[in-house]
């Protein structure tokens, strides 16, 4: 299954906010550079039954990370995969139990931490794991 989306609203460009901050000496802020824009993306999902009542699934998605998200929670890139079991195995045919794997890797290069050029640049590497019951 493939889904596409297009969000439209008053959103700022991150690059415009950075450019304005460099001109004015203020902190980068998307508020003054917001204008009516579009932010698109797409998702792909697949599920494959392995044996009756047992399946594996995978999902992936991308969105334009250069534009401020209009949605409450938004992800620029995502990949998830897992295993699902139908409740028929334990006498509850309308239930599904699933285990998904999702990990977020992040790398950020910060040229001027806290807008202080004397400090020099810094690389930040992060990882995030999510579980939910």
Could you read off the pLDDT of 91-112 as tens digits, one per residue?
999 999 888 877 777 888 888 8
> Which residue, among 31, 32, 33, 44, has the nearest Cα to 1 in the 3D structure?
44
C-beta separation of 5 from 42 below 8 A: yes
- In this structure, are residues 43 and 13 in contact, taking their beta carbons and an 8 Å threshold? no
How much is the mean pLDDT over the chain? Answer: 88
Phi-psi label, residue 127: left if phi above 0, alpha if psi -120 to 50, beta otherwise: beta
Model pTM?
0.63
Domain positions in the chain are 2-129
- Top pLDDT among 133 and 85 is at 85
What is the predicted pLDDT for the residue at 73? 61
Q: Is the pLDDT of residue 75 over 80?
A: no
Strand 103-110 relative to strand 96-101: parallel, antiparallel, unpaired?
A: unpaired
d(Cα 78, Cα 9) in Å, to the nearest integer? 23
């Amino acid at each position: 299954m493939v889904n596409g989306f297009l969000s439209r609203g008053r959103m700022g460009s991150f690059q415009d906010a950075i450019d304005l901050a460099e001109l004015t000496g203020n902190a980068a802020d998307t508020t003054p550079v917001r204008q009516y824009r579009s932010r698109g993306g797409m998702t792909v999902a697949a599920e494959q039954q392995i044996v009756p009542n047992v399946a594996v699934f995978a999902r992936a998605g991308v969105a334009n990370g250069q534009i401020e998200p209009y949605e409450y929670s938004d992800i620029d890139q995502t990949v998830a995969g897992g295993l699902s079991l139908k409740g028929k195995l334990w006498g509850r045919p309308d239930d599904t139990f699933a285990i998904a794997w999702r990990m977020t890797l992040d790398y950020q290069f910060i040229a001027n931490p806290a807008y202080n050029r004397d400090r020099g640049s810094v690389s930040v590497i992060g990882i995030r794991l999510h579980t939910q019951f």
